Amino acid sequence: MSIHMNNEMDKLKKKILFLCAKVEENVQQAVKAFITKDKVLATSVINMDDEIDQIEIDVEEECLKILALYQPVAIDLRYIISMLKINIDLERIGDLAVNIAEKVAYHYIAPSDAIMIPFDYKKLVDKVKNMLKDSIDAMVKYDAEKAMEVCKSDDEVDEINAQMHARLREEMHKHPECIEYLLQFISVSRNLERIADHTTNIAEDVIYMKKGRIIRHSGSSQEQKE
């Protein structure tokens, strides 16, 4: 690798890590805003989206510049391709965090005293946040094994989400006056589930970057045969 290309790769890594930090923070803040009904915090999440979008554009331009100027091959080419795809997933995760924040800033409906936050909601939040953190750690450390664990967690998120939806439907029957409030949890949980899906995409791209194997649509069994 030439000195110039090495410098450009270092710049790219710094930009993608900066994007990771912004997106991870926005997800955490969006969830906190929803739980605490903090409209000021929710608004700050929404306002951060323009900066995240600009960083995503900067990362894409940096990737395309490296491809055009240096025509990387082998592991370097896989890295650039992976960064282009991870960049898109991070931006979409940022959009989903904004969706959650908007529930608080613009559409929040106060609950009845009889209604509590669903137990499975915290479990879902913690699982998704851990998946996002672990996928970023796997990307930074080129850790395919950790990335595979993230992929395996996606099924668990789907199961938790399904269980929570079932409980929410029961609560709607018991408390029809709170349907609009409970529907907000269903909407937020769907956004969290989609964040988990994009996080899984990031993990799959880490595996491709490290091993040169595309596992998307094939499940984890193929990877486990190695």
Delineate the domains of the chain, giving CATH numbers in brackets.
1-108 (1.20.58.220), 111-226 (1.20.58.220)
Q: What are phi and psi of 225, to 5 degrees?
A: -70, -15
Q: Which residue in the block uniquely carries the two structure tokens 């960083």?
A: 55
Do the beta carbons of residue 37 and residue 108 sit within 8 Å? Answer: yes
What mean pLDDT is predicted for residues 162-185?
Answer: 86
Distance CA 88, CA 81 (A): 11
Residue 129, CA atoms < 13 Å, CB-side half-sphere: 14
Do the beta carbons of residue 106 and residue 37 sit within 8 Å? Answer: no
Helices (H), 37-143: 39-70, 74-105, 119-141
Categorize the per-residue pLDDT at 110 as very low, low, confident or very high, splitting at 50, 70 and 90: low
User: Is residue 221 predicted with pLDDT exceeding 50?
Assistant: no
Does residue 128 sit in helix, strand or coil? helix
What mean pLDDT is predicted for residues 159-166?
Answer: 91
Is the pTM higher than 0.75? The answer reads yes
Radius of gyration for the alpha carbons in the chain, expressed in angstroms and rounded: 19
Sort residue 219 into left (φ over 0), alpha (ψ -120 to 50) or beta. left
* The pLDDT of residue 76: 93
Give the N- to C-terminal CA distance of the chain in Å, as an integer.
Answer: 29
pLDDT in tens, 74-87: 899 999 999 999 99
What mean pLDDT is predicted for residues 30-54?
Answer: 94
Do the beta carbons of residue 204 and residue 152 sit within 8 Å? Answer: no
